[in-house]
Structure 1
Amino acid sequence: MKMFSFRLALLTLCFAVLLVQVTAAVAAKKKKSYGTFTDVRFVKNYDGDTITVDLKGQHPLFGDNIPVRIAGIDTPEIKGKCAQEKELAREAKKVVHKIMSKARKITLKNVRRGKYFRIIADVQADRKNVADILIKKRLAVRYDGGTKGFDWCRGRKGVDDRVDFFNKILK
């Protein structure tokens, strides 16, 4: 009987340790958010999914000229593979610049670090989600941070149809 009680206690202890380790592993896998920044000034944008901002109230070393990648999307690349991708990239850049420069209130929500240690955030301009605007204009596809899987180098009509299809799949 003593041996059974000892084994039961040992088994319970092992289970408890395993449960703590699994819980810690799950918690570690969640992306840490550094919160929300509401006192944000737009400086410039490199392309359609990367902006530079000043975070007012922060030390200049940590708050001035901070590049931020807009979460959840991928836009055509400025140095793209074909003329069409480059043109779409310039269009996306213009749209983002117009939205951000006219915004009276810019908010960075769910601020975190990405896989390359870049700052990633849900960007809002006057309470409108910038990523959603670009997706609706077919200048961005949904992107979860994994492998980029969209080819911008096909006919514009084909790109529009594929953007819609791609975004529906990843929604």
Structure 2
Amino acid sequence: MKLALTLCLLALPVSAECYNWPLSGEPYDGDTFAVTVPGLPDELARVSVRVRGVDTPEIEGACGAEKEAAIRARNYTSEWLSGGYEICSLEWGKYGGRVVADVVQESRILAQDLIVRGLGREYNGGARKGWCDDQLGD
């Protein structure tokens, strides 16, 4: 199944082009949601999108504060996406079946909006810091 998904997605151009694929359900968290890619068989059409440039708290967080922050970030992302969006500059993520992309609305960028509102922090790959007090040391 994963091989079939990979082969179908390889047929899609990975470029600076933008797409307005519809959401597939609600966002998982503030920086991850799924879309339905038109033209693919149903079992392959759902693709996970990781928002480039931001890390938000995890729904399955290490502490209650992280989980609560994750829900706030997810709710913001859900509302933000409901205003229409495009997925641009797609590239393959480090986890199979997932793309990393810029998510934009006209001149707004989801990653920047999450960071400015304190719902996420800048992330450009590598190890991520935790979101619980005991994990935030410098």
- Give the TM-score normalised by the residue count of structure 2: 0.76
Structure-2 residue corresponding to 1:120:
100
Separation (CA, whole Å) in 1 of partners of 2:31 and 2:50: 6
Which amino acid is the alignment partner of residue 29 of structure 2?
A: D
Separation (CA, whole Å) in 2 of partners of 1:109 and 1:127: 13
Structure-2 residue corresponding to 1:22:
none
Equivalent residues in 2 for 1:100-139 (5 A)?
100-103=81-84, 106-117=85-96, 118-139=98-119
Separation (CA, whole Å) in 2 of partners of 1:132 and 1:62: 33
* Structure 2 unaligned residues grouped into runs of 5+: 1-12
Pairing 1:50–2:28 present: no
The partner residue of 1:98 within 69, 72, 79 is 79
Identity of aligned residues (%): 32
Specify the structure having the higher radius of gyration (Cα). 1
Query: Per residue, is there more helix in 1 or in 2?
Result: 1
Pairing 1:79–2:60 present: yes
Q: For CA contacts below 8 A with separation 6 or more, give which structure has more relative contact order.
A: 2
* Structure 1 unaligned residues grouped into runs of 5+: 1-32, 167-171
Equivalent residues in 2 for 1:1-171 (5 A)?
34-35=14-15, 36-43=17-24, 44-56=26-38, 58-60=39-41, 64-103=45-84, 106-117=85-96, 118-148=98-128, 150-154=129-133
Q: Which secondary structure state, in structure 1, belongs to the residue aligned with residue 23 of structure 2?
A: strand
Asked if the contact 1:74–1:142 (Cα under 8 Å) also holds between the matched residues in 2, the reply is: yes
RMSD (Å), alpha carbons: 2.5
Separation (CA, whole Å) in 2 of partners of 1:41 and 1:76: 24
